[in-house]
Amino acid sequence: MTPVITVDGPSGAGKGTLSARLTQFLGWHFLDSGALYRLTGLAATNHGVAFDNEPALSLLAEHLDVRFDSSGERTLIFLEGDDVTDTIRTEDVGAMASKVAAVQVVRDALLNRQRAFQEAPGLVADGRDMGTVIFPEAELKLFLTASPEERAKRRYLQLKDKGHDVSIARLAEEIRLRDERDTNRSVSPLKPADDAFVIDSSGLNIDEVTDLAIQQVKKKGLAPS
Ligand code: C5P
State the pLDDT confidence band at 43, using cuts at 50, 70 and 90. Answer: very high
Q: What is the pLDDT of residues 171-196, one digit of tens each?
A: 889 888 888 888 999 998 999 999 99
Pocket flag, ligand 1, residue 151 (CB < 6 Å): no
**Nearest atom within ligand 1 for CA of residue 41:** 8
**Whose CA is closest to atom 20 on ligand 1?**
101
- pLDDT digits 0-9 by tens, 96-151: 999 999 999 999 999 999 999 999 999 999 999 999 999 999 999 999 999 988 99
pLDDT at 73 over 90: no
- Our mutation pick for probing the ligand 1 site, out of 33, 104, 135, counting the most ligand atoms within 8 A of Cβ, is 33
Is the CB of residue 146 less than 8 Å from the CB of residue 13?
Answer: yes
Gap from CA of 128 to ligand 1 centroid (Å) = 6
pLDDT band at 10 (very low <50, low <70, confident <90, very high): very high
Rounded (5°) CA angle 44-48-49: 55
Nearest to 95 by CA among 186, 192, 180, 187: 180
Average pLDDT of 18-23?
96
Exposed (0-12), middle (13-18) or buried (19+): which is 26, by Cβ within 10 Å?
buried
Spell out the residues 6+ positions from residue 113 whose beta carbon is closer than 8 angstroms to its own. 36, 64
Question: Looking at residue 46, what is its pLDDT?
Answer: 97
Q: Please tell me the distance from the alpha carbon of residue 56 to that of residue 44, in angstroms, as a whole number.
A: 9
pTM of the model as a whole: 0.92
Check residue 144 and give its pLDDT: 97
Q: pLDDT at position 154, please?
A: 87
The yes-or-no verdict on residue 225 having pLDDT over 80 is no
Ligand 1 atom at minimal distance to the Cα of residue 94: 6
CA 67 – CA 30 distance, rounded (Å): 14
Backbone angles phi, psi at 83, to 5 degrees: -75, 110
Q: Please give the number of the atom of ligand 1 that sits closest to the Cα of 15.
A: 1
Q: At what angle do helices 91-100 and 168-184 cross, to 10 degrees?
A: 10
114 in contact with ligand 1, CB cutoff 6 A: no
pLDDT surpasses 90 at 72: no
Which pLDDT score is estimated for 138?
A: 98
Residue 130 DSSP code: I
